[in-house]
Amino acid sequence: MEILVFGAGSLGSLVGGLLARVHDVTLVGRDPHVSQVRADGLSVTGAAAARVAPDATTDGEGRTADLAVVTVKSFDTAAAAETLATGEFDAVLSLQNGLTEETLASRLDTTVLAGTATYGAHLREPGRVACTGVGRVVLGARTGGSDPAAERVGKAFRDAGLRTLVATDMPRRRWEKLAVNAGINAVTALARVENGSLADGPAAEVAHRAARETVRVARAEGVPLTYRGARAALVEVVSDTAENRSSMLQDVDAGRRTEVEAIHGEVVERADRHGIDAPTNRTLAGLLRAWEAGRGVR
């Protein structure tokens, strides 16, 4: 399969690198990473390993492929969609956190599949990405049900050795992933701890409260998510990615803008709409916004 990975940072380089073991992959990213990959290939180290030579470019305009996998940060989704719209793809799959698929679908004239990824990834240096936890990719039709495009993409991912499930209940799974991220991302970013620190202790309690609030909001939105299910998912991801510095902690480490609005901000906004209290997410969002304002990245 010809696959364009749009946003070759941590997750995009990991997924693109693993896919490149059997598929024809092009990474769209930034220099110096892109130049390094072009010159010397890409190495994937850690919990999954590969040495591959995908194509790489900083220019995503006018590309054609069977599949585009979107792995930019949520706040770059609209711009990514505008660029992808200049090309041609049989399907576009988001593996981002947050509920970004609608932004893609409203700007693209092709099938947009929903996806979640619980692999841990960290771009250590140009040309080298670490897999810091083997999780799973779950993908399927954005509004639920089955879709032949999802089956094809699922097979392509599995052929490349990625643990992948094709699901018919993506609306529920997207909210479950949002609950997991509400539990993990801000807590690890603010406490400066790896995901495994949320297995027990004081940070774990905060994480579970944030996830529980997200479940309440999901249910108010008509999504059949149970707290038991979300709690089990949170515990599983914390264990699978114990060594990972979450994507939000990586942002804080690097002094970059975070996905606070797409995760905790989204939960709070929808909670307000439904007249539900979400004090933990509100507090986490407030602290991250204050940190971003202090760093001048807001």
Ligand X SMILES: NC(=O)C1=CN([C@@H]2O[C@H](COP(=O)(O)OP(=O)(O)OC[C@H]3O[C@@H](n4cnc5c(N)ncnc54)[C@H](OP(=O)(O)O)[C@@H]3O)[C@@H](O)[C@H]2O)C=CC1
Distances (CA, A) of 138 to 158, 220, 244: 11, 24, 19
By CB under 6 A, tell whether 246 contacts ligand KPL: yes
- Catalytic status, residue 73: no
Region binding ligand X by CB under 6 A among candidate stretches 118-126, 154-162, 168-176, 277-285: 118-126
195 binds, among ligand X, ligand KPL, none (CB under 5 to 8 A by kind): ligand KPL
Nearer to ligand X, 7 or 171 (CB): 7
By CB under 6 A, tell whether 118 contacts ligand KPL: yes
| Residue from 30, 107, 20 nearest 65 by CA | 20
**From the CB of 62, what's the least distance to ligand KPL, in Å?**
30
Both tokens of 104, joined, read 């893609």
Nearer to ligand KPL, 29 or 87 (CB): 29
Choose which of 3, 15, 19, 72 interacts with ligand X (CB under 6 A). Answer: 72
Residues 132, 45 contacting (CB under 8 angstroms): no
**From the CB of 120, what's the least distance to ligand KPL, in Å?**
5
Region binding ligand KPL by CB under 6 A among candidate stretches 181-189, 196-204, 215-223, 290-298: 181-189
Residues 15, 71 contacting (CB under 8 angstroms): yes
Nearer to ligand KPL, 185 or 197 (CB): 185
| Residue from 217, 7, 271 nearest 129 by CA | 7
**Burial of residue 239 (number of CB atoms within 10 Å: 0-12, 13-18, 19+):** middle
By CB under 6 A, tell whether 51 contacts ligand X: no
CA 217, 209, 248, 287 dihedral sign is positive
**Phi, psi of 6, rounded to the nearest 5 degrees:** -95, 105
SS3 78: helix
Choose which of 76, 88, 90, 169 interacts with ligand X (CB under 6 A). Answer: 76
Q: Write the DSSP assignment of 259-294 as a string of letters.
A: STIIIIIHHHHHHHHHT---HHHHHHHHHHHHHHHH
Provide the binding-site residues for ligand X, judged by CB under 6 A. 7, 9-12, 28-30, 58, 60, 71-74, 76, 79-80, 83, 96-97, 117, 120-121, 123, 244, 247, 250, 259
Provide the binding-site residues for ligand KPL, judged by CB under 6 A. 97, 118, 120, 135, 181, 184-185, 195, 237, 241, 244, 246-247
Residues tagged active-site: 177
